Structure 1
Amino acid sequence: MWGPLVPWTVAWAAWAAAAGRAVPEAAGASRACGRAPLCLNESSLQQGCCERERGAASFSAWGLSSESLLDPFPIDPIQENYVRNVRNCIFSVAYPTPFKSRVLLVAVSKEVLEDILDLDISVKEKVDFLQFVSGEKVTPGSVPLAHRYGGHQFGIWAGQLGDGRAHLIGVYTNRHGERWELQLKGSGKTPYSRNGDGRAVLRSSVREFLCSEAMHYLGIPTSRAASLVVSDDDVWRDQFYNGNIKKERGAIVLRLAKSWFRIGSLEILARSGELDLQRRLLDFVIQEHFPSIAVNDSNRYLEFYSTVVLQTANLIALWMSVGFAHGVCNTDNFSLLSITIDYGPFGFMDSYDPNFVPNTSDDERRYKIGNQANVGLFNLNKLLQALKPLLDPRQKQLASQILEEYGKHYYIRFTELFKTKLGLLGENEDDNYLIAFLLKLMEDTKADFTMTFRQLSESTEDQLKELHIPEEFWALQDLAKHKLFSEWVTRYLLRLNRNKGDSDTKRRRRMATVNPRYVLRNWIAESAIRKANLNDFSEVHLLQQVLQHPFQRQQAAEKAGYSQRPPAWAKDLKVSCSS
């Protein structure tokens, strides 16, 4: 068994030899830059070495490192890739399973490639890039890993879960000094696949690729997506768990995050009594991702917990501000860095409804949009339970008090965001009532969430004062049917008059920067998926462009009807955990 004290190159060479794999020539020789494995030899150093300084590295000279994840932790000593109960490690070495059929590169994110991975967009034309993003080729310096974690699923401890269809293929530190962990999703079986086949299908992969990027441009902390590939491999799915098994196509998303550690990463160690390993993982996470916390501070776990509580409250408030429901808010899907991860049966609300549930598998409506803040509290409590074995009695008491403040943090942040959506400046004791009043009107009239706020940002004060709602403002027209609409408008205009140094033009301009005109509604994603299933990826590409500028009116988006009333068939759409 080789652990954290064994040099990573030696450990990997030993593993690769035992597994019958060839060790790439550049493995261990790619640290010439001192920051990331890009420059592979002395001649490249003499030629100016890092093309990445110009932000456009060639793919043949580009690589990843697994050193920062292999060195600190013991690795699963079992080399074979079969489903099993794993203990006393954070990762298992597991290689992606290449597709058997042809693979097509459907889409890439230019910003992710160029600004995060230091690659020129032209890399998408290269065969070795396609092999890389489809799991066929491993870059020098990379040791593909599957992460061991557990979690509470729908409120019940589910035991060992882990990366059942994802491979962490390496870490990249870019020219900005940012550290990113790259993961293939849908890339085959791992020791944590349970009864699954390790694959993801095209429909769910399109949704993840588009939504992770859409959330980024909405200003919400999220994982990113670099590429999407589809194969002709058959993948069989019972999409709605009703016995109707259908053949679908396998797909893979290359996604990135600063870290993929989640609440469940700590829960599995606490539950298994692996406290030394839990402490090592916590110290690693703090040192790498929480620079304001001193790693030798005796209260570091308390400070860590306080930060996660605050950031989780912020994240869920941000979700609510754009009408986003995650769909599966299990503890294994909640990031320790409080970013949005693991896009499954998510949904953006059309009509405002606190009981909106995007996941048809959620029979108890546990994860309805109006319950997300409460679920956040539940998950943070489970994190606290996992941390308690590492805290002294005083720290446990303080941690419980920190958790009690979660509701206040969430409420403050929610109010701030919705005040901004309404263009309100300064403080007024009636602001909370004004927000609640509007949401109640929206609920009663089933007014569209996104477009109600957007059309308020496009309405002049004179139009509101006269209750003159233009015909194209269909969401506001729905809202105006409420008998109390005029009363709300009167209160709203009085409040706007209290905005010191403001003008109607400034107010509308300000509101237009925070109230999106376009979000990835389920019906819009479904439209793109239906075309993609016929090898027509034009709408995937269109949505990529539109969702990069969600606050700007776009001619192509208007032509596609993305800001119009959702079609009637949208109400019958179903999304499940199956992917």
Structure 2
Amino acid sequence: MPTSTFAEFAQRADYSLMESLVADPQATADGHDHQPRQVFSGHYVPVTPTPMAAPELVAHSSTLFDDLGLSEELLHDDQFLRLFSGDISAAQEPMRPFGWATGYALSIYGAEYTQQCPFGTGNGYGDGRAISVFEGIFQGQRWEMQLKGGGPTPYCRGADGRAVLRSSVREFLAQELMHALGVPSSRSLTLVMSKADTVRRPWYAPNSPSFDPDILVDNPAAITTRVAPSFLRVGQLELFARRVRRQAHPGALNELQLITQHLIERNYRQEIDPSLSFADQVVELARLFRGRLTALVAQWIRVGYCQGNFNSDNCAAGGFTLDYGPFGFCELFDPRFQPWTGGGEHFCFFNQPLAAEANYQMFWAALRLLLEDNTKARARLDQLREGFSAAMQQELEAMWASKLGLASYDAELVNELLELMVRSKADYTILFRRLSTIPE
């Protein structure tokens, strides 16, 4: 039977992340922790979201409700709507009365950065406005629910912790589209806006010729409830690896091992034999993630999607599309298409395989620290890293062959077609839709 009441929904709660990982020892007991600060250790910070004033449900994903076995009767349940508009006081046993935010590191094309951290150390960078409020088992599968725009956390870097309605609508629609197109993706359960709260964000003046936003405008505040098997990022493993390398504290290596084990349990347990040694599980994790990541990026190019800012902190360690920030879909074909005005060519449409390889490099480097005493396992891990480019090319060739209806990849034909598409300014999606009518 579908879950139709909030009491039934609450019984689905099962908080594997908070039960198996380490909380920040400096965190508050009640989750009231909303000011920017450094977080020196631990995998997560307990934090309560900030409720929105006068919330109104804008949209929900009926397909995701079905996938999770949720009845749409929940949309008329006051506690359900309160929770997903940021009011965690609606929680009831066995739910926790607080959510959690996580820290992670940032690297851009394999170069480590700490400048985005307000303290210049990397200890204040992470989920600045995303707060997970629920983890549970639905239809035999574990899912995490996270409020994007849920209010400030210790990682907020002085910002207001809110999202705006227009970008939230874009994300909601793109997630549903990507899922329908068969591209692995996070989803959105609900989209809620405030009829009272507004936030100021950069935008364009009327008839503005500016490439970048040139004014500030008020926007309705909104919260989307993102849903995924986990929200573990490559940047999280990278954060703990950095702490191991600089010997930040005595438990650094253990924290790296714990989050790696948790990643395996959350995203790869059906594929990785638990009877294997930990070293063998780490190598298998690297192999499986490489396969998922290369397949994902090939799928992005298949559907014309450009992530726009594919740093390690925007790369899901589970191998799916995680973040919908400055994304876009290629229209007039340009291999250098970049939807983000603040981005560069390094994250453009056809450079996404290179960005993926750089993120895999950081993933590999973090796992390598767990195999210091196992030279054979490290050698196998290194082979996986060295083979990334070939694996990526294999996925791309298979994608192009399938997209063109070819029995096998034809490099000369594909390259000639792409050149003609650039010269003719063909629409990336419409052209292939028209090609599909030729057999008729």
Question: Taking structure 1 as the reference length, what is the TM-score of the superposition?
Answer: 0.67
Q: Which residue, 257, 261, 264 being the options, matches 1:283? A: 261
Distance 1:458 1:242 in 2: 41
Contact 1:59 1:119 in 2 (8 A): no
Distance 2:203 2:22 in 1: 37
Secondary structure in 2 matching 1:62: helix
Indicate the residue corresponding to 2:117 in structure 1. Answer: none
Q: Which has the bigger relative contact order, CA under 8 A and spacing at least 6? A: 2
Secondary structure in 2 matching 1:350: coil
Q: Which residue, 144, 151, 162 being the options, matches 2:99? A: 144
Indicate the residue corresponding to 1:435 in structure 2. Answer: 414
Indicate the residue corresponding to 1:238 in structure 2. Answer: 202
* 1:167 matches 2:131: yes
Distance 2:83 2:163 in 1: 17
Q: What amino acid does structure 2 have at the position aligned with 1:444?
A: R
Secondary structure in 2 matching 1:245: strand
Q: Structure 1 residues 204 and 151 mapped into 2: Cα distance closer, same or farther (>3 Å)?
A: same
Cα RMSD after superposing both structures: 1.8
Distance 1:287 1:258 in 2: 11
Contact 1:152 1:331 in 2 (8 A): yes
Contact 1:151 1:263 in 2 (8 A): no
Q: Which residue, 95, 102, 105 being the options, matches 2:48? A: 95
Q: What amino acid does structure 2 have at the position aligned with 1:360?
A: T
Q: What amino acid does structure 2 have at the position aligned with 1:55?
A: P
Matches within 5 A, 1:93-492: 93-100=46-53, 102-116=54-68, 118-137=69-88, 138-140=90-92, 141-142=95-96, 143-153=98-108, 155-158=111-114, 159-160=122-123, 161-174=125-138, 176-231=139-194, 232-239=196-203, 244-273=215-244, 274-291=252-269, 292-295=271-274, 296-297=276-277, 298-362=279-343, 364-392=344-372, 393-425=375-407, 427=408, 431-460=410-439
Distance 1:260 1:239 in 2: 29
Choose 322-331 or 392-401, whichever is displaced more: 392-401
Distance 2:384 2:335 in 1: 27
1:333-388 per-residue CA deviation (whole Å, 9 max, x = no partner) reads 101111001101111100111010010011x3221011100011111111122222
Q: What amino acid does structure 1 have at the position aligned with 2:264?
A: I
Secondary structure in 1 matching 2:346: coil
Q: What amino acid does structure 2 have at the position aligned with 1:183?
A: Q
Please state how far the C-alpha of 1:396 moved relative to its aligned partner. 3.1
Q: Which residue, 71, 74, 78 being the options, matches 2:22? A: 74
Please state how far the C-alpha of 1:66 moved relative to its aligned partner. 4.9
Contact 2:142 2:266 in 1 (8 A): no
Structure number, greater radius of gyration: 1
1:159-195 per-residue CA deviation (whole Å, 9 max, x = no partner) reads 2421110111111211x21110111100101111112
Q: What amino acid does structure 2 have at the position aligned with 1:367?
A: F
Question: What is the aligned residue count?
Answer: 401
Please state how far the C-alpha of 1:414 moved relative to its aligned partner. 1.3
Question: Displaced runs of 4+ in structure 1, greater than 6 A?
Answer: none
Contact 2:4 2:74 in 1 (8 A): no
* 1:55 matches 2:6: no
1:134-181 per-residue CA deviation (whole Å, 9 max, x = no partner) reads 01244221341111212214644232421110111111211x211101
Q: What amino acid does structure 2 have at the position aligned with 1:146?
A: A
Indicate the residue corresponding to 1:568 in structure 2. Answer: none
Higher strand share: 2
Contact 2:60 2:190 in 1 (8 A): yes
Q: What amino acid does structure 1 have at the position aligned with 2:399?
A: L
Q: What amino acid does structure 2 have at the position aligned with 1:187?
A: G
Please state how far the C-alpha of 1:325 moved relative to its aligned partner. 0.2
Secondary structure in 1 matching 2:257: helix
Please state how far the C-alpha of 1:59 moved relative to its aligned partner. 2.7
Question: Taking structure 2 as the reference length, what is the TM-score of the superposition?
Answer: 0.87
Indicate the residue corresponding to 2:208 in structure 1. Answer: none
Q: What amino acid does structure 1 have at the position aligned with 2:352?
A: Q
Contact 1:56 1:114 in 2 (8 A): no
1:259-313 per-residue CA deviation (whole Å, 9 max, x = no partner) reads 1001011111111121111101111211332122234423221111121112111
Distance 1:194 1:394 in 2: 42
Distance 1:242 1:448 in 2: 26
Please state how far the C-alpha of 1:401 moved relative to its aligned partner. 1.9
Q: 5+ residue gaps in structure 1? A: 1-53, 461-504, 506-579
Distance 1:65 1:59 in 2: 11
Q: 5+ residue gaps in structure 2? A: 115-121, 205-211, 245-251
Contact 2:84 2:147 in 1 (8 A): yes
Choose 87-96 or 65-74, whichever is displaced more: 65-74
Distance 1:179 1:170 in 2: 11
Contact 1:215 1:222 in 2 (8 A): yes
Q: What amino acid does structure 1 have at the position aligned with 2:299?
A: L
1:195-238 per-residue CA deviation (whole Å, 9 max, x = no partner) reads 21100011110111111111000000000111111113120112
Distance 2:177 2:214 in 1: 33
Q: What amino acid does structure 1 have at the position aligned with 2:272?
A: I
Distance 2:354 2:150 in 1: 34
Q: What amino acid does structure 1 have at the position aligned with 2:152?
A: K
Distance 2:64 2:364 in 1: 34
Distance 2:75 2:411 in 1: 49
